[in-house]
């Protein structure tokens, strides 16, 4: 991959590290207990119970590393998890970390882990600027540092050369999806638009190079844009997800009158032209969209593609929609060895994110 900038230090890829696929063995799932009520204005009350249900299912197949805002938040979380029958039954599977955060979307603010052939795990530390949307992000931006120190992992700063100086590159975990074999899916809307103020001035080639030397990526697959209602400016985890080295689940909208129809049809056509490193076409499996979810006059980014793959479990967002069953069956078909668990996200999605947005996997 061509690049105008050269990293100042030996890179993860040069040392043999790569970002594993989500379905590869995991040591733990990282979550942050919800506390920022402004993320769910007028609808915060049910959110901790949704988190409790997610923690309960995840703790059955792997450890849960649960970040809480402070000691009081830890006590509140323990009380609610006890009320929800998660504790004390799964006590030995859940570890609490009293680290302050701005909000709880760990997919984007948490560390992106990489692993080498010997099994060593490290953290890649990208800059998080709250989707170029909020002014309070400094606490969330420190999470990779906290996790690396707690684990004793090596940490790689994602640095790129800017005008006259080196700076930390902005990247959110929800904007990328990898197959663990050198392929990475993303969108032009998110990573290439200067308007979003993530990495102004960086070219496509420079972004591809950075993803290559930080995550071991050899080929970046670019889709055009994300779904309506996504305030992250086109995160790929709402539209297309790897479920095997050459298999992608792609969100589709059958209603030609729906605003997502043209967007997702264009992405589907693009995916069907894409190939892996050996030049073989990807297997593209259509995944339906739920009917539009609107709250207080605002359409929110409801999508079944925002599922999360744990060791033996796939947590899938559902919306009390006729397409729920079709989506669950489709995901079961491509991941036959996993238990498919529906999680009602009609309330959670008012925060403009769902299950994948709130989770971050740590490889084993």
Tell me whether residue 345 is one of the annotated catalytic residues. no
DSSP code at position 202: -
Asked whether 332 and 20 are in contact (CB, 8 A), the reply is no
- Smallest CA-to-CA distance from 237 within 303, 314, 282, 287 is with 303
Residue at 335 is within a domain: yes
Q: Of 3-12, 222-231, 273-282, which range is least confident?
A: 3-12
Percent of the chain with pLDDT over 70: 95
Residue 2 domain flag: no
Indicate whether 64 belongs to any domain. yes
- Domain of 205? 26-363
Please identify which of the residues 210, 357, 361, 362 carries the catalytic annotation. 357
With beta carbons less than 8 A apart as the criterion, state whether 230 and 300 touch: no
Give the pLDDT score at 2: 37
Number of domains the chain is built from: 1
Give residue-wise pLDDT tens across range 153-167: 999 999 886 665 678
| Domain CATH for 51 | 3.75.10.10
Once rounded to an integer, what is the mean pLDDT over residues 75-82?
98
8 lies in a domain?
Answer: no
What pLDDT score was predicted for residue 173? 98
Task: Summarize pLDDT for 173-185 with one digit per residue, the tens.
Answer: 999 999 999 999 9
* pLDDT of 252 above 80: yes
Please give the C-alpha separations between residue 236 and each of 126, 140, 338, in angstroms, as whole numbers. Answer: 18, 21, 23
Euclidean distance between CA atoms 275 and 281, whole angstroms: 4
Residue 139 counted as domain residue:
yes
Count the Cβ atoms, other than its own, within 10 Å of residue 25. 11
H or E element at residue 125: strand 121-125
Q: How buried is residue 119: exposed, middle or buried, by Cβ count under 10 Å (0-12/13-18/19+)?
A: exposed
**What would you report as the CA-atom Rg of the chain, rounded to the nearest whole angstrom?**
19
Note whether residue 106 is domain-resident: yes
Higher-pLDDT residue of 7 and 87 is: 87
307 has pLDDT over 90: yes
1 in a structural domain: no
Res. 33: pLDDT tops 50: yes
């Amino acid at each position: 991959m061509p690049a105008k900038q050269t990293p100042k230090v030996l890179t993860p890829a040069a040392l043999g590290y790569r970002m594993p696929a989500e379905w590869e063995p995991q040591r733990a799932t990282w979550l942050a207990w919800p506390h920022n009520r402004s993320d769910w204005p007028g609808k915060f009350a049910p959110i901790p119970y949704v988190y409790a249900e997610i923690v309960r299912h995840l703790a059955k197949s792997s450890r849960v590393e649960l970040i809480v805002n402070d000691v009081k938040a830890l006590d509140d979380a323990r009380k609610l998890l006890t009320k929800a029958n998660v504790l004390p039954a799964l006590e030995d599977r859940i570890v609490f970390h009293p680290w302050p955060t701005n909000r709880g979307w760990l997919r984007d603010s948490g560390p992106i882990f990489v692993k080498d052939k010997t099994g060593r795990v490290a953290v890649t530390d990208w800059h998080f600027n709250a989707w170029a949307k909020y002014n309070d992000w400094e606490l969330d931006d420190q999470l990779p540092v906290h996790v690396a120190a707690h684990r004793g992992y090596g940490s790689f700063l994602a640095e790129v050369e800017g005008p006259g100086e080196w700076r930390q590159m902005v990247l959110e975990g929800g904007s990328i999806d990898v197959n663990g074999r050198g392929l990475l899916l993303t969108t032009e809307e998110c990573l290439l638009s200067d308007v979003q103020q993530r990495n102004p001035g960086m070219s496509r080639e420079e972004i591809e190079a950075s993803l290559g030397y930080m995550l071991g990526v050899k080929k970046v697959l670019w889709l055009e844009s994300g779904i309506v209602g996504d305030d992250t400016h086109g995160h790929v985890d709402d539209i297309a997800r790897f479920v095997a080295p050459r298999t992608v689940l792609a969100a589709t909208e059958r209603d030609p009158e729906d605003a997502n129809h043209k967007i997702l049809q264009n992405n589907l056509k693009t995916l069907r032209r894409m190939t892996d490193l050996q030049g073989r076409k990807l297997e593209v499996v259509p995944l339906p969209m739920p009917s539009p979810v609107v709250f207080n006059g605002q359409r929110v980014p409801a999508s079944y593609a925002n599922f999360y793959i744990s060791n033996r479990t796939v947590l899938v967002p559902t919306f009390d929609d006729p397409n729920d069953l079709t989506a669950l069956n489709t995901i079961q078909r491509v991941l036959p060895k996993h238990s498919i668990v529906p999680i009602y996200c009609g309330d959670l999605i008012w925060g403009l994110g769902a299950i994948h947005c709130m989770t971050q996997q740590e490889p084993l």
